[in-house]
């Protein structure tokens, strides 16, 4: 029924706004939506260059880098590919850590591109195993490993990895491997420092902490990575850094950029600077802690078992044995008009993921947790009441 664009809506109208509490895409603030809702301009005209130069310069402050940042009209997966194809050659060895589903997808991509991946396992309940990575680097006497790739915030488990510790392990081994980090669900939500932590390539996307719709992704590129690109032999064209950087020097792109999403990015960056990055991180930490207090009050467990590595952008909650996370999510969607993240890979139906990142407030968090608590009751999942109260105590207490 092409004349009825809303024909896909199978449910009756649910009053009030939909709660999109998946860990990305996140809720897009009105200011960003209004910025996007403007006429598309000539991306080769004089006005565009100014916009391009401004967003590229401002993005560096988000990555905390003095180096280069490039923007692709692509989902985060594209920026994963860009990081690999610009720096590596067929048959190169890459060290990765299976922190969860997203690390597994990046590994699968690397193998499809012809890289040889050495994969350090975890139990999916903590961040990257730094000691195991250090041991693998120490054992690599021939220094055949060309890159170490780590997911900063593993969105399937709600665990973060200690990137500065990974860098320290590489340095302690005296190893020349590049460090590449996926920050798709942490950038602009959780403290991250491309330069200070010695990261060579950072990968990010638009639709999580940056509060934009899906469709943009990023590489922050350090000097060593850029030098590696000179000899890297993997085939690349669309993702090629050098042609992108050459055009970016004057604020332009080698092909048509996502002009309207760049308007949105310009607005989103202004919002982040208005609030102050430190305040943005503190807000995410606080919401994450209030969420964990609710989970504990319910008598449930978080998927992340390592307190030092709890994620501030999402919390994955384990369902009691014999109870379905997907059935619970379906009840919550139908009764309370809220979308929560599903379990991915082996965690399918075992966990639900509460996204608390992006444009998010205390009251939005209490609404979210209220929906989960009512859903637990409606779906007959054993729990204690009082999760919302525990969150209020955290948010309203001193
Ligand atoms: C969302 C996400 C991705 C995938 O990004 P797409 O935009 O879906 O391609 C990769 N890694 C992490 C950590 C993510 O959270």
pLDDT digits 0-9 by tens, 97-139: 999 999 999 999 999 999 999 999 999 999 999 999 999 999 9
Q: What is the average pLDDT score of the chain?
A: 96
Please give the distance, rounded to the nearest whole angstrom, from the Cα atom of residue 47 to the centre of ligand 1: 32
| pLDDT on residue 10 | 59
Calculate the CA 371 to chain-centre distance.
24
Q: Which H or E element spans position 302? A: strand 301-302
Report residue 107 as tokens.
């590994």
Asked if the model's pLDDT at residue 192 lies above 50, the reply is yes
Asked if the model's pLDDT at residue 1 lies above 70, the reply is no
Lowest mean pLDDT, pick from 6-15, 41-50, 292-301, 373-382: 6-15
Closest CA to 253 of 84, 70, 67, 65: 70
Q: Examine domains 15-27+277-396 and 30-272 and report if their fold is the same.
A: no
Asked if the model's pLDDT at residue 353 lies above 60, the reply is yes
Length of the chain: 398
Query: Is the Cβ–Cβ distance between 221 and 68 less than 8 Å?
Result: yes
Top CATH class of 30-272 equals alpha beta
Alpha helices, DSSP H only, in the chain? 30-36, 46-63, 76-87, 101-112, 130-139, 163-172, 223-229, 241-248, 259-275, 277-298, 325-336, 362-378, 387-396
Q: Is 140 exposed, middle or buried (0-12, 13-18, 19+ CB in 10 A)?
A: middle
| pLDDT on residue 5 | 54
Per-residue pLDDT reduced to its tens digit, 11-66: 678 899 999 999 999 999 999 999 999 999 999 999 999 999 999 999 999 999 99
pLDDT band of residue 2 (cuts 50, 70, 90) is: very low
| pLDDT on residue 7 | 54
Tokens 């590449």, residue located: 180
Asked if the model's pLDDT at residue 9 lies above 70, the reply is no
Measured from the CA of 214, which atom of ligand 1 is nearest? 7
Measured from the CA of 78, which atom of ligand 1 is nearest? 9
Calculate the CA 285 to chain-centre distance.
15
| pLDDT on residue 11 | 63
Which region holds residue 273: left if phi is over 0, alpha if psi is between -120 and 50, else beta? alpha
| pLDDT on residue 68 | 98
End-to-end CA distance of the chain: 55
Ligand 1 touching residue 19 (CB < 6 A): no
3-state helix, strand, coil in the chain (%, to 5): 40, 15, 40
| pLDDT on residue 13 | 85
CA distance linking residue 385 with residue 294, whole number of Å: 9
Query: Which of the listed residues 76, 106, 210 should we mutate to test ligand 1's pocket, taking the one with most ligand atoms within 8 A of CB?
Result: 76
CA-nearest residue, atom 6 of ligand 1: 76
| pLDDT on residue 397 | 84
Measured from the CA of 80, which atom of ligand 1 is nearest? 10
Tokens 């999580």, residue located: 208
Express as a percent the part of the chain with pLDDT over 70.
97
Domain spans, the chain: 15-27+277-396, 30-272
Please give the distance, rounded to the nearest whole angstrom, from the Cα atom of residue 77 to the centre of ligand 1: 6
Three-state SS for 350-397 is CEEEEECCCCCCHHHHHHHHHHHHHHHHHCCCCCCCCHHHHHHHHHHC
Ligand 1 touching residue 77 (CB < 6 A): yes
Per-residue pLDDT reduced to its tens digit, 140-184: 999 999 999 999 999 999 999 999 999 999 999 999 999 999 999
Per-residue pLDDT reduced to its tens digit, 316-347: 999 999 999 999 999 999 999 999 999 999 99
| pLDDT on residue 73 | 98
Ligand 1 touching residue 157 (CB < 6 A): no
CA distance linking residue 366 with residue 294, whole number of Å: 10
Query: Is the Cβ–Cβ distance between 314 and 155 less than 8 Å?
Result: yes
If you average pLDDT over residues 354-381, what whole number do you get? 98
Q: What CATH architecture is 15-27+277-396?
A: Alpha-Beta Complex (3.90)
| DSSP strand pairing (217-221 vs 68-72) | antiparallel
Asked if the model's pLDDT at residue 214 lies above 70, the reply is yes
């Amino acid at each position: 029924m092409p004349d009825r664009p809303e024909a896909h809506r199978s449910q009756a109208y649910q009053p009030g706004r939909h709660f999109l509490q998946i860990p990305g895409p996140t809720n897009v603030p009105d200011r960003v939506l209004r910025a996007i809702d403007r006429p598309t301009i000539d991306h080769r005209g004089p006005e565009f260059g100014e916009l391009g130069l401004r967003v590229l310069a401002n993005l560096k402050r988000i990555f905390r880098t003095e180096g280069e940042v490039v923007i692709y009209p692509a989902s985060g997966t594209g920026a994963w590919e860009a990081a690999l194809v610009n720096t590596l050659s067929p048959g190169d060895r890459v060290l990765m850590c299976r922190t969860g589903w997203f690390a597994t997808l990046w590994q699968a991509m690397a193998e499809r591109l012809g890289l040889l991946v050495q994969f350090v396992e975890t139990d999916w309940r903590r961040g990257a195993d730094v000691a195991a990575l250090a041991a693998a680097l120490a054992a690599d006497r021939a220094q055949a490993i060309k890159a170490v790739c780590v997911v900063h915030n593993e969105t399937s488990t709600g665990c973060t990895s200690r990137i500065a510790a990974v860098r320290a392990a590489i340095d302690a081994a005296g190893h020349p491997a590049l460090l590449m980090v996926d920050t798709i669900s942490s950038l602009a939500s959780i403290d991250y420092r491309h330069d200070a932590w010695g990261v060579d390539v950072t990968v990010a996307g638009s639709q999580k902490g940056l509060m934009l719709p899906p469709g943009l992704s990023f590489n922050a590129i350090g000097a060593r990575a850029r030098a590696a690109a000179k000899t890297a032999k993997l085939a690349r064209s669309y993702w090629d850094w050098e042609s992108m950087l050459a055009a970016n020097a004057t604020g332009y792109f080698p092909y048509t950029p996502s002009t309207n999403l760049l308007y949105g990015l310009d607005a989103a960056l202004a919002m982040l600077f208005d609030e102050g990055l430190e305040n943005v991180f503190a807000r995410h930490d606080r919401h994450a802690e209030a969420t964990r207090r609710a989970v504990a009050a319910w008598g449930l467990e978080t998927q992340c078992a390592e307190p030092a590595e709890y994620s501030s952008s999402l919390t994955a909650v384990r369902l009691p044995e014999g109870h379905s996370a997907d059935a619970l999510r379906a009840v919550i969607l139908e009764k309370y008009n809220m979308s929560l993240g599903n379990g991915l890979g082996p965690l399918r139906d075992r966990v639900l993921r509460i996204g608390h990142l992006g444009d998010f407030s205390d009251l939005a968090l209490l609404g979210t947790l209220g929906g989960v608590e009512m859903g637990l009751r409606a779906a007959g999942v054993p729990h204690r009441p009082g999760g919302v109260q525990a969150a209020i105590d955290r948010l309203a207490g001193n």
